[in-house]
Structure 1
């Protein structure tokens, strides 16, 4: 079993929206993973990206490109039983949903250090990079310490535990589940009309579709029974 972690903290030094604690967050998370959860203290297993001065002009500086490449490293070559960790401390935002897949017409985002020039990283992109390539028997843990963090990876369901950890399903959750099911029906129709010789892109779509079907089935059963 391999354990890999990507830890990012961005303070946005010199900006009007500068933060003060994100680098400390990154250091604390690293100490937590290495000291208490068996992550190896080496750059092959634990990568820490911050906008500290010493990281400028290196791959550890959290620009949009560097962050995306690091995320791809995090989930690359994962095997059954692997555990991968992603944490991000910085600004979160929202952009217009260009694809029209989000009922709120907005995509939740995280903000690289150069987001004003290079753009934010939206939830659809995060899902495609982090979730789609993941082996079904590997485990991905994500900690987003930012605004709009709850749906930042466009996952198919949301659990809202109470103080004791119990999960209750609301009517809004049920409606959201049905909406996701309708989207899966559309995806199934599109795949049904795909050529018999599936392209690599179509196979990727099929894999993503099956992930969605599995999640939808798991979500619908407890929702209906409640």
Structure 2
């Protein structure tokens, strides 16, 4: 964690938004139509609601017109470093990734599940029989981004990809106290996908990983506790811990789950933006609950157009933080 220094400039707001479509993987049915909508959705939200300037939002995207730098591994790593360069207390940062996420076997014993979470740049080396290479690991995301945020700064990460629950390797998670996830498709405030859009639904992760056997898949908590946003947390005993930066990771699903998108973009980015436009001052708990309900309703609506064998599982959004859940749940977001 960098040592805070005296401010030499006004606080800034800076964002990096990455969207990968993978047109080169179309032969494997791994291309993701719709991801290019996500940076627009997110950047419009940041500019319209949270007073970011468009010139301070960097977009990496594999568009055919080459209007943006392509999200190669090299370009992503460079942009990540530039995002948090010279970070100071009072600054606000946002990092966003829409594309494929996956799990790879952990080789150094640092992951309790036995797997590392990774994201795929556009130059991922993918062979259907020989696996993948050239991905970006959760350890690198943590080292390059999280470790360079000083106390007093604010940093929000958004991962709209499969297997993304702990994509930034933050120590505290909402996994054991998920908000309720109703499965009714009725009365959602989010515009539901059209029948045509439903045809274009595509999972944002590798099929091999999502089809892992029960013995081979990472095991997650099965806590039956139900979180209520208004529940008092003051009675939960906590040990005194050193002050840390306001760093959170908002993921479309847990590590052992898949998520999906359509031609309109990712369901997670859409749900998150809708919730924050309705109520920008929501607490972390309220936002997690709102997004979870939206995604449950959208998934139920999509499944109305599918057979039982084709039905999609409901992704469970996950919130992770440097601060304890006790500290942030009832605290409004500071974007």
* TM-score, normalised via structure 2 length: 0.48
State yes or no: 1:36 paired with 2:49.
yes
CA gap 1:167/1:13 in 2 versus in 1, 3 angstroms: farther
State yes or no: 1:99 paired with 2:115.
no
State yes or no: 1:134 paired with 2:159.
no
Tell me whether 26-35 or 76-85 shows the greater mean CA deviation.
Answer: 26-35
Deviation at 1:161, TM superposition (A): 4.0
CA contact (8 A) 1:8 1:62 kept: yes
Q: Can you list the C-alpha shifts for 1:161-220, whole angstroms capped at 9, x where unaligned?
A: 414436899xxxxxxxxxxxxxxxxxxxxxxxxxxxxxxxxxxxxxxxxxxxxx58x579
Which of 34, 37, 51 aligns to 1:21? It is 34
Moved over 6 A (4+): none
Unaligned stretches of 5+ residues in structure 1: 170-214, 222-226
CA gap 1:167/1:81 in 2 versus in 1, 3 angstroms: farther
State yes or no: 1:54 paired with 2:59.
no
Residues 69-218 of structure 1 aligned to structure 2 (within 5 Å) = 69-116=78-125, 119-159=134-174, 160-163=177-180, 164-165=228-229, 218=324
**CA distance in structure 2 between the partners assigned to 1:3 and 1:146 by the alignment:** 24
State yes or no: 1:9 paired with 2:19.
yes
Q: Can you list the C-alpha shifts for 1:119-177, whole angstroms capped at 9, x where unaligned?
A: 111111110011111111111101100011110011111024414436899xxxxxxxx
Deviation at 1:36, TM superposition (A): 1.5
Aligned length: 173
Deviation at 1:72, TM superposition (A): 0.5
SS of residue in 2 equivalent to 1:18: coil
Which one scores higher on RCO, CA 8 angstroms, separation ≥ 6?
Answer: 2
Q: Which residue of 1 aligns with 2:184?
A: none
Tell me whether 117-126 or 15-24 shows the greater mean CA deviation.
Answer: 117-126
